[in-house]
A and B are shown apart, each in its own frame.
Chain A
Amino acid sequence: MMTATAIQGFTQVDFDAFLALRAEEPAWLTTLRKDAWQRFEALDWPARNEEEWSRTDIRLFHLDRFAMPTTSDVAPPLAPGLLTHDVDLAGQLIGYNSQAATESLAEEIASQGVLFGSLDRLVIEQGDLLRPYFDREVVNRSKDKFAALHAACWSGGTLLYVPKGVAMEKPFHALSALGDGGIDLSKTLVILGDGAEATLLTETASTSETDSGLHCGSIELIVEPEAKLRYVNLQNWSKGVWHFAHQKATVDRNATLQWTIGALGAKLAKVNQEVALTGPDAEVQVNGVMFTEGRQHLSYNTHQHHQAPYCRSDLLYKSALQDRARTVWRGMIKVDVAAQRTDAYQRNDNLMLAPTARADSIPGLEIEADDVRCTHGSTSGRVDESQVFYAMTRGFTRTEAVRMIVAGFFQQVFDRISIESVRVALGEAIAQRVQDLDQPTPSAN
C-alpha cells in the first residue's frame, strides 16, 4: 500500500504527492497537469509594470501560506446559499475546500444523458467524452502564473453537460465553500450541446466572515449552436479571500448566453471574464453587480470578442463602493475582420458612497471590421444630491433617500436578469448592505 506524502505547499514534491492521490485520472489529464506545472514553474508572478496588473497590487499575496488541495478536509455544516430560496432544483453540488461534499441529481434528468456533479469524479468516469472539451483549452492555460497553477492543480469543481437537444427547465445549483485558511482550485465546466438549454446557479461562501483563503479558479462555458445557457456566479466569500480567476464562454451560431456575476466578498479579486462569439447570430448578455466595502479591491477585465458576423453582446457592470474600497473595470470589445454587422455594447457605472473609495473604469474598443455598431460608456459619481433633496421633500429621511437611490441604481441591472430567484437574492444581499449604510456626508455638488 502506498502512503501519501503530506502536502504542505506548492513544491515539486507536493505536486507529485498531489498527482499520486489522482492516480485514477485519465493519462491525458495527467499529461495536461504536468505540462501546466512546468509552465507554472517557468512563469514569473505578474509584475507591477504589466499594464493589466498596474492597478492591482498583489505584493501581500504569498502562495506559500497555502497548500495544494488534499482529500482530507471534512466539510462542516454549511449555510444553504443565497440563490436557491424556494427554487426547485434539477441537481445540487456542494463543495468544500476544493472537493465535493454532497451531490444530487434527479433520476429523470440523469436518464436524459445529463451529467452534473463533481468534475473530479466525472472526469474519471467520462474521460473520453470530456477530453475534446479540455483539448479546446477555452481558458488559455499559459495566460499567466495563476492560469498555469490552476490548470496543474485544479481539484473538485463542477461539471454540467447537457446533450444535444435536451432542454432543462429547473436550474442546477453549485455551492462552493471555503474554510479558514482553505484553498479552492475548483474548475467549472459547462457544456451545452446543439440546441440544449439549461440554467446553472453557482455561488461561493466562507464558513465565517473573517476567514482567510485562496481561490485560483477557472470557468469554461461552451455553448454550442442554437443552445441557451443562463449562468450565474455569485461570489460571496469573506473579505479575507484572495480571488484569482480566468473565466471564458464560447458561444456558437444562434446560441445565447446570459451571464450574471455578483461580487460581494473577497479581499482582492482579479478576474478575467471573456465571452467569445464564435458563430453567426450568437447573443450574449453580461450583467455585473458589485458592492464593495472596507479595503476590498475588485478588479475585472472583461473582453467581448466578436469572431463571427451578426452577433450581439451587451455588458453592464454596476458597482457601489464604500469606505476605502477600490474597483477596477477594464472592458474591451474586440471585433475581428470577419465579424461584420456586430452590435456590441459595454457599460460600467460606479456609485461612490464614500470620498475615500476609488473606481477606475477603462473601456476599450478594438475594431477590425467596418460595418459594426459598438458603443461604450462609463460613469462614476456620488449619490445625486438633487435626487436626495427631491425624496426628502416627499418625507424620506436623508438615510432612507440614499438607500432608496442606491437600490434603484442596482435595480437597473436586476431588470435584465431573467431568473427570479437570482434577482431576489441579489436584491436582498444588496438591500442588506444598503441597510448598513451610514448616513453619507452630503457632497458639495
Chain B
Amino acid sequence: MTETLKIADLHVAVEGKPILRGVNLTIRRGETHALMGPNGSGKSTLGNAVMGHPSYEVTGGTIELNGENVLEWDASERARAGIFMAFQRPMSIPGVKMADFLRHAATNVRNPDRKEGADLIPMREFRKELKEKMADLRMDVEFARRYVNDGFSGGEMKRAEILQLAMLRPKFAILDETDSGLDVDAVKLASQSIAQISQETDKGQEMGILIITHHDKLLDQNTPDFTHVMLGGKIVETGGVELARELYTEGYDRVRAAHPDAAKLEAELQENDAVAV
C-alpha cells in the first residue's frame, strides 16, 4: 500500500487569528506537489502546522499519516514517523556542531523507539555517510564542524536544510522556499540534489514532497504531479505542471479574479504583518 499524508479541512489559527480555513491536500509517497500562492496566503503556516509548531493552533480538521492521527503527536514524534520540513528560516543553535546535531537527529529518526541516552549511530559509519552526502552537495567538510546555522549565509542555511533532508530520509518532506536566497548555480544544484534524494527508495517507495516556491527552477528537476494554489488560507485551484508554469510567468491576478472571496481574505491577512504565515 502506498503511504499517504492526508490533510483534510485543516483550520489553523496563530495567536487566535485564523490563517488556514479548510485546507485539503493528500500526498502519496512518490508524488511531487508544488504549493504556490502569494506571500501571506498561508503556505508556511501549513508546513508549521504539519510539523506541530506549538504556536500554530489547529482549530479544526485532521492530519493523518497512513490513517494515524498526526495531531496527537509532538514535533519529535512526527519527525520520527517520517515527516520533515526544510524551513525557510531555520533556527541557529550556537555551540552545537552540525555533525553532532545530525548524528543525534539521524539516530532518533532511524530508530523511532530509541530511548534517551541509548547509543548513537557509530561515529565511523556516521562520518562516512555525512561526508558522502556533503560531497554530493559540494559542501566543504569544515561545514560539519560549524555550529548549527550559526552565522550561516542564506544559501548555506538552505544547503544545510537539504543536507538534513538527505541524512534523515523522511517519507514526506515539505520544502519551504528552499530555493530562495540561492544564486542560479546553487538553485540548480539544490534542484538536482532534491530530485536525487526524493527518488531514493525506502521499502520500494520514493519520498512524497511538497515544494513551496515562487520560482520555476526547483520545479525543473522536480516536475510536480500536482500544483496547488493557496489564497486566503485555502487551496483554491489544483492542476498539473502547466498551472505552475502559468503562475510563475503570469502571477496571481487571474486566480484572484476567479476567487474573489479568497482574495478578500488574503487582503485581510496581509494587514497583519506581525504573523509569519
Contact B96 A394 (CB under 8 A): no
Interface segment out of the listed B86-94, B126-134, B248-256: B86-94
Interchain CB contact (< 8 A) of A389 among B75, B102, B168:
B75
Q: Say whether chain A's binding surface is mostly helix, strand, loop, or mixed.
A: helix
Contacts of A397 in B (CB 8 A): 76, 108, 116
**A410–B104 contact, CB under 8 A?**
no
Q: How far is the CA of A284 from the CA of B102 in the complex (A)?
A: 36
CB pair B105 A412 closer than 8 Å: no
Contact residue among B53, B79, B94, B147 (Cβ-Cβ distance under 8 Å from A394): B79
Interface residue? B84 (CB, 8 A): yes
**Contacting pair A405 B96 (CB below 8 A):** yes
Asked whether B191 is an interface residue with its Cβ less than 8 Å from the other chain, the reply is no
Q: For B108, what are the chain A residues with a Cβ–Cβ distance below 8 Å?
A: 394-397, 400
Q: Decide: A409 and B53 in contact? CB cutoff 8 A.
A: no
Interface segment among A48-56, A236-244, A380-388: the answer is A380-388
Say yes or no: is A441 at the interface (Cβ < 8 Å to chain B): no
Residues in B neighbouring A392, C-beta threshold 8 A:
52, 74-76, 79
Would A407 and B96 be within 8 Å (CB), given that A390-B90, A393-B85, A394-B168 are in contact? yes
Does A261 make an interface contact (CB < 8 A)?
A: no
- Taking the complex as formed, is A124 at the interface, i.e. its CB lies under 8 A from any CB of chain B? no
Interface contacts beyond A394-B109, A398-B74: sample of 8 additional A-B pairs, CB < 8 Å, sorted by A: A390-B93, A394-B108, A394-B168, A395-B105, A396-B108, A400-B116, A404-B96, A411-B147
Answer whether residue A408 sits at the interface, using C-beta atoms and an 8 A cutoff: yes
Interface string of B237-273 (1 = CB under 8 A from A): 0000000000000000000000000000000000000
Q: Which B residues fall within an 8 A CB radius of A? A: 51-55, 74-76, 78-80, 84-85, 87, 90-96, 101-102, 104-109, 116, 147, 164, 168
**Shortest Cβ gap from B53 to chain A (Å):** 6
Nearest residue in B to A395 (C-beta to C-beta)? B108
Question: Could you say which of A394, A398, A415 contacts B101, with CB atoms under 8 Å apart?
Answer: A394
Nearest chain B residue, comparing its CB with the CB of A397 = B76
Residues of B within 8 A of A377 (CB): none
Residues of A within 8 A of B80 (CB): 395
- Let me know if A407 and B54 touch, CB within 8 A: no
Considering only CB atoms, which chain A residue lies closest to B167 in the complex?
Answer: A394
Cβ–Cβ contact A400 & B104, under 8 A = yes
Within 8 A of B (CB), among A281-322: none
Q: Would you call A394 and B93 a contact (CB within 8 A)?
A: no
Of all A-B residue pairs in the complex, the 7 with the closest CB atoms, nearest first, are A408-B95, A411-B95, A395-B108, A392-B75, A394-B105, A408-B96, A390-B91
List of B residues within 8 angstroms of A398 by Cβ: 74, 76
9 pairs of residues in contact across A and B, judged by CB atoms under 8 Å = A393-B52, A394-B108, A395-B76, A395-B79, A395-B104, A400-B108, A407-B95, A407-B96, A415-B95
Answer whether A405 and B76 are a contact pair too, CB < 8 Å, given A393-B85, A394-B105: no
Q: A405 contacts which chain B residues (CB < 8 A)?
A: 93, 96
> Does B96 lie within 8 Å of A389, measured CB to CB?
no
CA distance A390 to B85 in the complex (A): 10
B102: shortest Cβ distance to chain A, in Å? 8
- Contacting pair A404 B93 (CB below 8 A): yes
Chain B residues closer than 8 Å to A391, beta-carbon distance:
93, 101, 105
Residues of B near A415 (CB, < 8 A) are: 95
Min Cβ gap A123→B in Å is 43
A442 at interface, CB cutoff 8 A: yes
A412 surroundings in chain B (CB, below 8 A)? 94-95
Per the bound structure, the CA–CA distance linking A412 and B93 in Å amounts to: 11
- Residues from chain B with Cβ under 8 Å of A400 in the complex: 104, 108, 116
A8 at interface, CB cutoff 8 A: no
The answer for the CA separation of A385 and B54 in the assembled complex, in Å, is 9
Residues in A whose Cβ lies below 8 Å from that of B102? 394
Whether, in the assembled complex, A432 has its beta carbon less than 8 Å from a beta carbon of chain B, the answer is: no
* Segment 85-135 of A: residues with Cβ below 8 Å from B: none
With a CB–CB cut-off of 8 A, which chain B residues contact A396?
Answer: 76, 104-105, 108
